């Protein structure tokens, strides 16, 4: 921002609460969660959801475990009214789920809302009016505090009058002093108390007081102070459920909610992936998974986040950003080599020690717990450490490369990433490895190979192989203390030995086709170069010979 613009703005007033207690509290249990996806979220969409899409979203929210779902603003449009009617008439609301409807404090709108909810078994009727100084001055043309309080009182009276019109429905009452976040606290309290006086909540039949950060104007500690102040000053704390409803204008909606919970709130309103006006509402997924990551049950099930994201993106036509906590495409991906190495060590150690507690550097949770896979944890680009490639080949393709082979394969992959100017996926890494290091047959290849374990010399085997080198084909024969050694000797006899075999490993390929074995042969060329080659074959002996041929070819 230009310096001469700064004078337009003022610091946000702090709350006079020197004996605040929230900084010493911790979150140790889940609040009541209320989804506002179908109302606050939906009304902020460039293309609002159709009734069919809302139904799909509703079912999804139920599956996740929400017990309170604001389904819309039935008095505001025919679509919203029809949606509410369909939920009721098609008996789509599970017994343990309460739907919530929002309405302004105007008689005809409240009447229409009560028409919409006829026949439902339990409904939260939520009224709101804007209370802040800014709104009073600008939107309501310098309305006085009394004028604004009277709007709340009138609305509360109409609601109370209409409750008996739906005798078969249990009504829970909710009031929001909208724009609470920049309302003077004593005035917000005055409006809430005025509504409470009419609704007469009791500890047995509580009402909900929702205190919205309609616009996030301040740091989260100020929000927490506001919430604690209200919790301490409200006359019948045990007869009200204090509810949070944060937006994310300063990017701290999650922090404001978490501190608001520490400050004493009982309930949280928010949306999936933080959809909502402007910068969005609170992302409930983040708060719930943050709790899980500290060992606290949330009551919401986000174990299949990818499915949730798919339905969300399709029905809202919004996209989840790549860096969105927990859900973003890249949040379990490490690009830096040192991060990749640390993650690999953490995962290996967990496997070795069968550790109960999670403890992997750079990963706050186990991606598997939310339906994400390790597949994408390490992607390879030219900055990746050598452990990254080995990790991919091990975890994704079942090849446990000898440590001294890591730099050879790593270099090829990084050079390729550089050439292509992008990171390589796990599949691409696997494909390049198979193409360039496994069963390499350019230069030398063999068409037939026979082993005779029954030679006169005890403990030795004889081999006979048909090989092609360039355009020439020939039969080579050799004897040795094993199939590979016999083949090395056969090559020596035929004049193809310009190397020493310096290392050999083998293992069964994990997850590979049936029972393939992988063998790794390291050769040192007479000119000093050292290279590994890999062979894969159902027979471990053949895998070894193929590995030797691969290494021979790679040295050419």
Contacts with ligand KIV in 380-409 (CB under 6 A)?
none
- Residue closer to ligand KIV by CB (options 248, 439) is 248
Query: Which of residues 31, 48, 72, 212 is near ligand KIV by CB under 6 A?
Result: 212
H helix count then E strand count, the chain: 18, 14
Considering beta carbons, is residue 127 or 239 the nearer one to Zn ion? 127
**245 sits near ligand KIV (criterion: CB under 6 A):** yes
Least distance in angstroms from the C-beta of 109 to ligand KIV = 13
Distance CA 126, CA 432 (A): 59
Say how far apart CA 547 and CA 556 lie, in whole Å: 15
**Closest approach of ligand KIV to the CB of residue 332, in Å:** 32
Which residues in 254-293 contact Zn ion (CB under 5 A)? none
Give the CB-side neighbour count of residue 385, counting CA atoms within 13 A: 14
Give the list of residues 6+ apart from residue 156 with CB closer than 8 angstroms, or none.
105, 127, 175, 194, 195, 198, 199
What whole-number distance in Å separates Cα of residue 374 and Cα of residue 360? 12
**Residues 213 to 232 in contact with ligand KIV, rule: CB under 6 A:** 214
Nearer to Zn ion, 110 or 213 (CB): 213
Counting residues that bind Zn ion (by CB under 5 A) gives 1
Contact criterion met (CB below 8 Å) for 177 and 183: yes
Cβ 276 to ligand KIV shortest distance, Å: 8
Residues 86-105 that bind ligand KIV (CB under 6 A): 102
For the record, the structure tokens of 481 come out as 């203390």
**Among 37, 38, 40, 451, which residue sits at the site for ligand KIV (rule: CB under 6 A)?**
40
In the list 100, 113, 176, 290, the residue contacting ligand KIV (rule: CB under 6 A) is: 176
Residue 258 touches ligand KIV, criterion: CB under 6 A? no
CB atoms within 10 A of CB 244: 29
Cα separation of 235 and 434, whole Å? 72
Select from 475, 476, 473, 471 the least CA-distant residue to 491: 476
Handedness of CA 370, 371, 374, 376 (dihedral sign): negative
Considering only residues 102 through 161, tell me which ones interact with ligand KIV, judged by CB under 6 A. Answer: 102, 128
Distance CA 27, CA 85 (A): 38
**Cβ nearer to ligand KIV, comparing 249 with 541:** 249
Using CB atoms within 10 A of its CB, is residue 421 exposed (0-12), middle (13-18) or buried (19+)? exposed
Stretch of residues binding ligand KIV (CB under 6 A), selected from 19-27, 153-161, 210-218, 333-341: 210-218
Choose among ligand KIV, Zn ion, none what residue 176 binds, the Cβ cut-off being 5 to 8 Å by kind. Answer: ligand KIV
For Zn ion, give the closer residue by CB, 40 or 396.
40
User: By the 8 A CB rule, do 281 and 295 touch?
Assistant: no
- How is the chain split among helix, strand and coil, in percent rounded to 5? 45, 20, 35
Structure token pair of residue 224: 């927490």
The site partner of 128 among Zn ion, ligand KIV, none (C-beta below 5 to 8 Å per kind) is ligand KIV
210 binds ligand KIV (CB under 6 A): yes
Question: Residues touching ligand KIV: how many (CB under 6 A)?
Answer: 10
Q: Which stretch binds ligand KIV (CB under 6 A): 111-119, 208-216, 463-471, 516-524?
A: 208-216
In the complex, minimum distance from the CB of residue 351 to ligand KIV, in angstroms, rounded to a whole number: 46
What is the pattern of x (binds Zn ion, CB under 5 A) and - over residues 19-58? Answer: ---------------------x------------------
229, 195 Cβ separation under 8 angstroms: no
Q: Is 70 in the site for Zn ion (CB under 5 A)?
A: no
Q: From the list ligand KIV, Zn ion, none, pick the one residue 210 interacts with, judged by a Cβ distance below 5 to 8 Å according to partner type.
A: ligand KIV
* Separation CA 501–CA 485 (nearest Å): 9
Binding residues (CB under 6 A) for ligand KIV: these are 40, 102, 128, 176, 178, 210, 212, 214, 245, 247
Residues that bind Zn ion (CB under 5 A): 40
């Amino acid at each position: 921002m230009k310096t001469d613009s700064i004078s337009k703005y003022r610091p946000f007033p702090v709350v006079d609460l020197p004996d605040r207690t929230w900084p010493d509290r911790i979150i140790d249990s889940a609040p009541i969660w209320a989804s506002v996806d179908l109302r606050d979220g939906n009304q902020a969409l460039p293309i609002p959801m159709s009734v069919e899409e809302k139904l799909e979203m509703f079912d999804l929210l139920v599956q996740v475990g929400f017990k309170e779902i604001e389904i819309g603003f039935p008095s505001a449009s025919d679509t919203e009214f029809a949606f509410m009617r369909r939920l009721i008439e098609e008996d789509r609301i599970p017994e343990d789920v309460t739907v919530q409807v929002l309405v302004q404090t105007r008689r005809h709108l409240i009447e229409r809302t009560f028409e919409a909810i006829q026949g439902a078994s339990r409904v939260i009727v939520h009224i709101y009016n804007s209370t802040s100084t800014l709104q009073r001055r600008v939107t309501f043309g310098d309305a006085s505090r009394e004028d604004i309080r009277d709007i709340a009182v009138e609305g509360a009276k109409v609601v109370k009058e209409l409750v008996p019109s739906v005798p078969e429905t249990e009504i829970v009452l909710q009031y929001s002093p909208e724009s609470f976040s920049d309302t003077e606290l004593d005035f917000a309290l005055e409006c809430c108390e005025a509504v409470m006086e009419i609704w007469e909540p009791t500890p047995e039949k509580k009402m909900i007081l929702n205190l919205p950060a309609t616009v996030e104007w301040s740091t989260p500690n100020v929000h927490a102070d506001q919430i604690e102040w209200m919790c301490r000053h409200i006359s019948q704390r045990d007869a009200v459920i204090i509810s949070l409803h944060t937006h994310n204008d300063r990017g701290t909606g999650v922090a404001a909610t978490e501190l608001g919970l520490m400050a004493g709130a009982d309930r949280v309103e928010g949306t999936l992936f933080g959809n909502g006006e402007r910068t969005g509402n609170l992302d409930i997924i983040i708060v719930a998974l943050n709790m899980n990551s500290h060992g606290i049950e949330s009551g919401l099930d986000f174990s299949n986040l990818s499915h949730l994201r798919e339905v969300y993106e399709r029905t809202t036509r919004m996209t989840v950003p790549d860096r969105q906590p927990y859900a973003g495409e890249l949040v379990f991906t490490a690009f830096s080599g040192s991060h990749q190495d640390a993650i690999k060590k953490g995962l290996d150690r967990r496997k070795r020690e069968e550790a109960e507690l999670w403890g992997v550097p750079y990963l706050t949770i186990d991606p598997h717990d939310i339906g994400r896979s390790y597949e994408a944890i390490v992607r390879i680009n030219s900055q990746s450490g050598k452990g990254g490639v080995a990790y991919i080949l091990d975890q994704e393709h079942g090849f446990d490369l000898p440590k001294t082979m890591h730099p050879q394969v790593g270099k090829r992959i990084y050079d390729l990433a550089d050439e292509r100017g992008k990171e390589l996926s796990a599949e691409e890494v696997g494909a390049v490895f198979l193409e360039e290091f496994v069963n390499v047959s350019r230069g030398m290849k063999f068409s037939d190979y026979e082993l005779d374990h029954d030679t006169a010399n005890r403990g030795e085997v004889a081999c006979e192989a048909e090989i092609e080198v360039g355009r020439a084909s020939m039969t080579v024969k050799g004897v040795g203390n094993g199939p590979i050694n016999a083949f090395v000797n056969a090559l020596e006899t035929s004049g193809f030995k310009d190397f020493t075999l310096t290392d050999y490993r083998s293992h069964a390929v994990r997850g590979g086709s049936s029972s393939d074995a992988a063998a790794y042969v390291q050769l040192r060329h007479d000119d000093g170069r050292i290279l590994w080659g890999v062979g894969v074959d159902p027979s471990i002996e053949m895998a070894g010979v193929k590995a030797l041929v691969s290494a021979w070819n790679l040295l050419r």
